[in-house]
Structure 1
């Protein structure tokens, strides 16, 4: 859990993902299309990925990926992020975290 907290606080937007996960790909694309360059942690390419995946599940992320952190705080997985995007809250969160300047 400490490793996740440390990684999540290193950039305004951090996405824990798996390179083979379609939903992870969709969420990364959503952020890129918003003009945000998130830090991406591919759990299937990290030697401690399985450990981090279990920590994300304990945090309440089910399925474990994608797991999105904005401003160092856990936002949620794909469903939560898409809901925030559709209701307009995501842009505000990104601005408040310093990930967007417009």
Structure 2
């Protein structure tokens, strides 16, 4: 599940180079956006997640990490937070929800719709 990202590297050296301001920006985004998606522009699963939200008339913010200067560092942070290697990374009210499969299943069961109403 998810899309491969060629910038993924599980090297501890890279992780030590993550800037504190980037972590602070991510924390602010978690607080600012009720539904937040970190995706990859050419990723089929990323496109599916965005389409599911659009079909359900859910307002969401998304960032295409492969189009960002900080993308590789951002992915390392997201991988640590979520324990997943590949986008999309979906956050609901600042908490990691899952990827395309979880979003699809969440709407099918009604769980995600309820979570978004609260």
With the shorter chain as reference, the TM-score category is 0.7 to 0.9
Q: Pick from 82, 94, 99: which aligns with 1:60?
A: 82
TM-score computed with the length of structure 2 as normaliser: 0.73
Task: Specify the alignment match of 2:33 in structure 1.
Answer: 11
The answer on 1:49 being equivalent to 2:78 is: no
> Which structure 1 segments of 5+ residues have no match?
97-102
Q: Which residue of 2 aligns with 1:93?
A: 115
Runs of 4 or more above 6 Å deviation: none
Q: Conserved in 1, the CA contact under 8 Å of 2:106 and 2:112? A: yes
User: Matched residue pairs, number?
Assistant: 96
- 1:31 correspondence with 2:31: no
Partner of 2:13: none
Residue 28 of structure 1: CA displacement? 0.4
Q: Which range moves more in the overlay, 81-90 or 21-30?
A: 81-90
- CA radius of gyration, larger in: 2
Query: How far 1:15 sits from its partner (Å)?
Result: 0.5
TM-score by length of 1: 0.84
CA-based RMSD of the aligned residues comes to: 1.4
Q: Which runs of 5+ in 2 are unaligned?
A: 1-22
Q: Is 2:82–2:96's contact at 8 Å kept on the other side of the alignment?
A: no
